[in-house]
Structure 1
Amino acid sequence: MASDTASPPRKPDPVTAKGERRRAPYRRRLRSRIIVSFALLGLCLTALFAFATNWTRARVENQLVEDVMNRNINEYARRFYEDPGRNPDLPVQQIRAYAYSSDKFEKAREVWPEWAALPTGIHSISGADEKGERYAYKLAVRKTPDAWFFLAYDMTQTMKGESQLNRALFLSVLVFSVLSLVLGWWSASKVMKPVSDLAARLRAYRGGTSEPEPLAPRFPDDEVGQLAQALDDYSSRLTEVVQRDREFNADVSHELRTPLAVIRGATELLLARPGLDDKVVQRLQRIQRAEQQCTDLIGSLLLLSRNERGQGNSNVARVTEQLLDAHRAQLGGKPLELVLEGDRDLVIDAPESALSVALGNLIGNAVKYSQEGSVRVRVSGNRVDVIDSGPGLSAEDAAKLFQRGYRGTHAGHSQGGGIGLSIVSRLCDLYGWQVSVRPGVERGVIATLTFAPAL
Structure 2
Amino acid sequence: MRSRRKLRFRLIVTFTLFGFGLSALFASAAINIRTRVEEQLINSALQDEVDSLNQKVRNNQPVSFEILKGATFSDRTIYKAPLPWQNLDTGVHDIFDVGADGKPRHYKVAVRRQGGIINFLEFDVSRDELGKRQLLTSVIAAVFLFALLSLVLGVWLSSRVLRPVTDLARRLRDFRRVGKAEALAPHFADDEVGELAVALDEYATRLTAVVERDREFNSDVSHELRTPLAVIASTTELLQGSPDLTDKLRERLKRIERASRQATELIEALLLLSRAERRGPTRGEVTDVAKVASDVIESQRPQMGGKPIDIELVSDGSVAVNAPASVLSVALTNLIGNAIKYTMEGKVTVRVLEGRIDVIDTGPGIKPEDAEKLFQRGIRGESATGGGAGLGLAIVRRLCDLYGWDVSLRPRPDMAGAISTIDFR
Q: TM-score, normalised by structure 2?
A: 0.94
Matched, 1:427 2:384: no
1-structure distance, mates of 2:412, 2:371 = 12
Q: Is the 8 A contact 2:371 2:409 kept in 1?
A: yes
1:140/1:150 contact within 8 Å kept: yes
For 2:64, the equivalent position in structure 1 comes to 89
8 A contact 1:316–1:344 mirrored in 2: no
User: For residues 432 and 96 of structure 1, do their structure 2 counterparts lie closer, same or farther at Cα, with a shift above 3 Å needed?
Assistant: same
- Aligned partner letter, 2:402: L
Among 355, 367, 384, the alignment partner of 2:357 is 384
Q: Which has the higher contact order (CA 8 A, sep 6+)?
A: 1
CA deviations on 1:89-130 (whole Å, 9 max, x unpaired) are 31x1x4312122xxx324223423322212211122233324
Following superposition, the deviation at residue 393 of structure 1 comes to 1.5
Unpaired segments ≥5 residues, structure 2: none
After TM superposition, the structure 1 = structure 2 runs for residues 247-266 of structure 1, keeping only pairs within 5 Å, are 247-266=216-235
Q: Deviations over 1:393-431 (max 9, x none)?
A: 1023113121111111221x3321111111111111111
Q: How far apart, in 2, do the equivalents of 1:32 and 1:112 lie?
A: 62
1:152 to partner: Cα distance? 1.2
The reply on whether 1:213 has 2:182 as its aligned counterpart is yes
Quick check: 1:338–1:374 contact (8 Å CA) kept in 2? Answer: yes
Kindly provide the CA deviation profile for residues 254-306 of structure 1, in whole angstroms up to 9, marking residues without a partner as x.
Answer: 11111111111111111111120111111111111111111111111111112
- Equivalent residues in 2 for 1:55-454 (5 A)? 55-83=32-60, 88-90=63-65, 92=66, 94-100=67-73, 104-206=74-176, 209=179, 212-306=181-275, 307=277, 308-311=280-283, 312-343=285-316, 345-411=318-384, 413-442=385-414, 443-452=416-425
**C-alpha separation in 2, matches of 1:179 and 1:369:** 73
The answer to whether the 8 Å contact 1:317/1:343 transfers is no
Q: Distance in 1 between matches of 2:337 and 2:4?
A: 44
Give the CA deviation at 1:344.
5.5
Residues 344-382 of structure 1 deviation map (CA, whole Å, 9 limit, x = unaligned): 532211111001001111111111111111110111111
Asked whether the 8 Å contact 2:317–2:354 carries over to 1, the reply is no
Unaligned runs of 5+ in 1: 1-24
Q: CA deviation at 1:310?
A: 3.4
Aligned-pair CA distance for 1:41: 0.4
The secondary structure found in structure 2 opposite 1:71 is helix
Contact 2:46/2:121 (<8 A) preserved: yes
- Could you list the structure 1 runs, at least 4 aligned residues long, displaced by more than 6 angstroms after superposition: 25-28
Q: CA deviation at 1:246?
A: 0.7
- Residues in 2 aligned to 1:225 and 1:403: alpha-carbon distance in whole angstroms: 39
TM-score, normalised to structure 1, is: 0.88
Distance 2:372 2:222 in 1: 34
CA shift, 1:343, in A, is 3.6
- Give 2:21's match in structure 1, choosing from 44, 48, 51: 44
Task: Check the 8 A contact 1:257/1:295 in 2, yes or no.
Answer: yes
Q: State the secondary structure of the residue aligned to 2:148.
A: helix
Structure number having the greater helix percentage:
2
Q: Name the counterpart of 1:20.
A: none
In the alignment, is the contact (CA less than 8 A) between 1:134 and 1:156 conserved in 2?
no
**What SS class does the counterpart of residue 217 from structure 2 fall into?**
helix
Q: Distance in 2 between matches of 1:130 and 1:43?
A: 43
Tell whether the 8 Å contact from 2:400 to 2:406 is kept in structure 1 after alignment: yes
Q: Aligned equivalents of 1:49 and 1:379: distance in 2? A: 77
Superimposed CA distance per residue, residues 58-81 of structure 1 (whole angstroms, 9 cap, x where no aligned partner): 011111112211221222122212
**In percent, how many aligned pairs have the same letter?**
47
Aligned equivalents of 1:237, 1:403: Cα separation in 2? 27
- 2:41 alignment partner AA: L
SS of the aligned residue for 1:118 comes to coil
Asked whether the 8 Å contact 2:303–2:341 carries over to 1, the reply is: no
Q: In the superposition, relative to structure 1, how do residues 361 and 447 fare at CA in structure 2: closer, same or farther (>3 Å)? A: same
